[in-house]
Amino acid sequence: MVGSQLRIASRRSQLAMVQTNWVRDELTRAHPGLDIAIEAMATQGDKILDVALAKIGDKGLFTKELEAQMLMDRADIAVHSLKDLPTNLPEGLILGCITEREDPADALVVHVRHKDKTLATLPEGAVVGTSSLRRLAQLRHHYPHLTFKDVRGNVITRLEKLDAGEFDCLILAAAGLGRLGLGDRIHELIDPGISLHAVGQGALGIECRDGDAAVLEQIKVLEHVPTARRCLAERAFLRELEGGCQVPIGVNTRFDGEDLILTGMVASLDGVRLIRDESRGPEHDPEAIGIDLAQKLKEQGAGAILEEIFAAVRPEA
Ligand code: DPM
């Protein structure tokens, strides 16, 4: 492979760059002759910081600019946090590989004045910083004593706002904190019995052009089959519910022998209605498990909840 080149498109937040540099290092190790170039850029989601994420509502908020680079043949692959990658990709692009997942759980990070507290024991009215409708709905369901305030910006900016006293606590993905070397800020890992994580959370997705055989072959070394199976079940579930990345939909996956078990939930924004169930099936057909679970939840009223949310957060749509 001497002399061949691979161009990577990436967001330029600290977390995105840590992830992209990791991909570059792994690919360099596997293909020593490969010349890898990284092009870092801002996406719409990085630029619009004064509007709640849920109100923007656009699918592909953090991915479109990177995809344009590949479609214009200015980049060969894009590295994404898999949870930011929509379940339906633009014509001509595919999810080429899914890397090994880190702990997909959400984490509680508290202001130092609450260092002896837990989610359950935070004072009445404590302000949780999150712009995730999924986190909001599930935490409201279990902890009605908490209040919620939108927070935008990257992980480091959010931590600065927390430390400055704008919030009592934040909920962040444990994986993102870990990759940034900020694992010591994790105060409590949130139990999946309380809050299910986002689809694809903790894994990276590498997108590339459909039919680009040489590139697909190069990135194959990064594929982690168990993670890919779990995430493909989760993504099929989300796709079947027609949920974008900004909906109160959560999941959890685990293996049981040769079976994969997918747990999923849909909740109303006030956290009052929460529908949760699970499906299982042979792990070699993960998409069927996701589709089956989506149908189960629809039969229990998930469709109606999602319709209400789309109407409420995006009245213009
Ligand atoms: C998506 C959501 C959030 C990100 C919504 C959700 C969190 C927004 C917020 C789809 N993307 O999770 O329900 O809490 O205000 C994002 C993070 C990571 C990837 C940061 C985080 C890192 C973890 C990973 C933002 N995207 O969730 O703390 O790679 O899975």
Interval 144-173: pLDDT, tens: 999 999 998 889 999 999 999 999 999 999
pLDDT tens-digit series, residues 233-270: 999 999 999 866 578 999 999 999 999 999 999 999 99
Across the beta sheet with 169-173, the strand order is 147-149, 127-129, 169-173, 106-110, 188-189
Classified as helix, coil or strand, 30 is helix
* Mutation probe of ligand 1 site: the residue of 81, 150, 309 with most atoms within 8 A of C-beta: 81
Give φ, ψ of 42 to 5 degrees.
-90, 150
Residue 238 in tokens? 């989300």
Task: Respond yes or no: is residue 84 known to be catalytic.
Answer: yes
List the domain boundaries for the chain: 1-101+201-223, 106-189, 224-317
Query: Nearest C-alpha to atom 23 of ligand 1 is from which residue?
Result: 176
Q: Do domains 1-101+201-223 and 106-189 have the same CATH topology?
A: yes
Q: What is the 3-state secondary structure (H, E, C) of 272-287?
A: CCEEEEEEEEECCCHH
DSSP code, position 153: S
Ligand 1 binding site (Cβ under 6 Å of any ligand atom): 81, 83-84, 130-132, 134-135, 155, 172-173, 175-176, 198, 201-202, 245
Does the domain at 224-317 match CATH 3.30.160.40? Answer given as yes
The H or E element containing residue 236 is helix 225-240
| Amino acid (one-letter) located at 316 | E
Query: Nearest C-alpha to atom 6 of ligand 1 is from which residue?
Result: 132
Q: Which ligand 1 atom minimizes the distance to the CA of 158? A: 15
Pick the CATH number of 106-189 from 1.20.1540.10, 3.40.50.10300, 3.90.380.10, 3.40.190.10: 3.40.190.10
Query: Nearest C-alpha to atom 25 of ligand 1 is from which residue?
Result: 84
Residues 6+ apart with CB under 8 A from 199: 83, 87, 231, 234, 235, 237, 238, 249, 251
Report residue 1's pLDDT band, with 50, 70 and 90 as the boundaries: very low
Query: Nearest C-alpha to atom 11 of ligand 1 is from which residue?
Result: 84
CA 155 / ligand 1 centre spacing (Å): 9
pTM (global) more than 0.85: yes
Does the domain at 1-101+201-223 match CATH 3.40.190.10? Answer given as yes
Q: What is the 3-state secondary structure (H, E, C) of 59-114?
A: CCCCCHHHHHHHHCCCCCEEEEEHHHCCCCCCCCEEEEEECCCCCCCEEEEECHHH
